[in-house]
Amino acid sequence: MGTLSIPLHYFLILAAVLFGLGVIGVITRRNAIVIFMSIELMLNAVNLTFVAFSNYLNNVEGHIFVFMVMVVAAAEVAVGLAIIVAIFRLRETVHVDDIRLLKW
Amino acid sequence: MAIEEILFWFFAVAAVAGGLGVVLHPNPIKSALFLVMTFFALAGEYILLMGHFVAIVHIAVYAGAIMVLFLFVIMLLNVPEETRQGGVWGAMRYVALGLFVFLSFQLSYFGFQDFFGDKQQLVKETEIGTVESIGMSLFSEYVLPFEIASILLITAMVGAIYLSKSKLIIEESKKKKAVEKEDH
């Protein structure tokens, strides 16, 4: 078994940058759908870290965990977008500043 | 520079460019298309890490299913372009930028330098990411989490169908408003 000529920490740095971009999206964007997309970006950054460490430790559990994260992401998107559609029907907006019934 | 490294940089630049597009583009449809680009680039990175199964599932689930759902909802709702925010949210942009620099620097520099020490750890050629290896452990050691995942998916499906029944939501809110008016 040989090695490829890519240092492993390149992948971890890339994952950190993508996670940071996702955080920026969640904090600055006010459109609920774009906030959801930023959350997907963060989940993907974590998946990349899982796969990278799985390669480092030579262990299959990282890949299994990525599989479970994908299941949760799919469920989250289905329910979340259904909630967004329901809110849009009631209030004609997906702007999160306009939806503050539960906010003090 | 070896071909693997060139491929890594190609996919990394594509992924970060796509991520920037998602965060910065005011039009949600174009944000979604940038996200598709990021997903394809990440699938390339998974293949470089010898995660063949994860790469294929990633394309099928994220680029295939989740992004289609996103685009459907965006086009169904006819979401307008986001206007630039003033006030608190304008200032929040700089907070986010500072947070981004801090987080990336903290995670990538301090954490991983301590973790790997001075020696460079290279990506290994392994067989653990193949469909066979993952299938073996998914159906032997991790069969219970695998089955529970199916329950989670069916719950989410039922929930999504229930939430998107239009008559239910609108009629209930009208009924509530009528009741409130009678009370007054």
Nearest to B153 among A2, A60, A71 (CB): A71
Our CA-based measurement puts residue A97 at a distance from the nearest CA of chain B, in whole angstroms, of: 10
**Whole-angstrom Cα distance, residue A69 to residue A61?**
12
Contact A91/B at CB under 8 A: no
Contact B38/A at CB under 8 A: yes
User: What H or E segment, with its residue span, contains residue B157?
Assistant: helix B143-163
Nearest to A5 among B2, B66, B157 (CB): B2
- pLDDT at residue B127, rounded to an integer: 79
Our CA-based measurement puts residue B164 at a distance from the nearest CA of chain A, in whole angstroms, of: 6
The reported pTM is: 0.85
Q: How many residue pairs from chains A and B have C-beta atoms closer than 8 A?
A: 258
- pLDDT at residue B120, rounded to an integer: 67
Q: CB–CB of B142 and A75 under 8 A? A: no
Question: Do the beta carbons of residue A41 and residue B38 sit within 8 Å?
Answer: yes
Q: Which of residues 80-99 of B touch A (CB under 8 A)?
A: 82, 85, 89, 92-93, 95-97, 99
- pLDDT at residue B64, rounded to an integer: 87
Q: Which residues of chain A have pLDDT under 50?
A: none
Of B79, B80, B46, B50, nearest to B61 (Cα)? B46
Contact A101/B at CB under 8 A: no
Contact A57/B at CB under 8 A: no
Domains of chain A by start residue, with CATH: 32-104 (1.10.287.3510)
**Using one digit for the tens of pLDDT, what is the confidence trace for B148-163?**
999 999 999 999 988 8
Who wins on pLDDT, B147 or B182? B147
Which residue is associated with the tokens 């262990």? Answer: A59
For residue A31, give both structure tokens: 């459109």
3-state secondary structure of A100: coil
3-state secondary structure of A31: strand
**Using one digit for the tens of pLDDT, what is the confidence trace for B10-25?**
999 999 999 999 988 8
**Using one digit for the tens of pLDDT, what is the confidence trace for B27-81?**
888 999 999 999 999 999 999 888 899 999 999 998 888 999 888 888 888 777 7
Query: Picking from B43-52, B89-98, B137-146, B167-176, which range would have the lowest pLDDT averaged per residue?
Result: B167-176
Buried b (16+ CB within 10 A) or exposed e, B16-44: bebbbbbbebeebeebbbbbbbbbbbbbb
Contact A7/B at CB under 8 A: yes
